Structures are given as C-alpha cells and as structure tokens.
Amino acid sequence: MVTKEFNHTINKLESDFTVATDFLQKGQDDLLKELEVANNKIKALELERTTLKSNIESLDRRLMSVEEISRNHNVEIQMVPEKRHENLLHLIQKLYDTVNVTLDTNCICAVRRIAKINP
C-alpha cells in the first residue's frame, strides 16, 4: 500500500513537472518567436534607414545644385535705404529707370531684402 501511494505521488509529481516544463517551454518558444520578429523588424528598419539616408544625401546634393543655379541669376544691390511699407518691385523699377535700362518685370521671379548681419 505504501509502494502504491509512493508510486501515485511520484506519478503526480512527474505529471506536475511535465506540465510546468511544458509551460516553460511554450513561454520560451513564444519569446524566441517574438525575438525573431523583433530582429526582422530591426533589420527592415536598418535597411529603410540606409535607404532614407541615401535619399536624403541625394536630395541634399540636388538642392545645393538647384540653389547654386538659382543664385547664378541673382542681382545683389547694397546700401539701399529701407523704408516702411516699401514696394521692392517698384524700388527695382526706379533703380533701372535711374540707370536708363528697360526692365521687363515678367523676368523677375522674386525681390527680397536680406537681413543685416549687424542691424
């Protein structure tokens, strides 16, 4: 009877141990799957980051080129007094009239004042 009770207890412990180890194994498998998914996401994000960095560098080069081309057509006029509510296009027209040069205002893309370094 003692042997029977002892065997029953051992079987119960083996069963409980099997349930516990199965539970731990399932948890470990789930963690491994999550880790694999996270690693795949990291690899994808690193690839995307590399691609985006390359695109940004390319766009920076293009922007610098466009800005350089744009500056080729600039005219800089210095020492023109600034007045409140001035019309810069009208001011440019007056300057052209003063030097007796005709100005086609359709050729002007933009007129702006640049901030002074030392106001």
What pLDDT, in 10s, does the model give residues 67-104? 888 877 788 888 888 888 999 989 888 888 999 988 88
Contact criterion met (CB below 8 Å) for 67 and 85: no
Task: Give residue-wise pLDDT tens across range 97-117.
Answer: 999 988 888 888 888 888 777
What does the pLDDT average to over 23-35?
Answer: 94
How far apart CA 72 and CA 114 sit, in angstroms, is: 17
**At residue 30, does pLDDT exceed 90?**
yes
Sign of CA dihedral 88, 91, 97, 101: negative
pTM for the model stands at 0.51
**At residue 50, does pLDDT exceed 90?**
yes
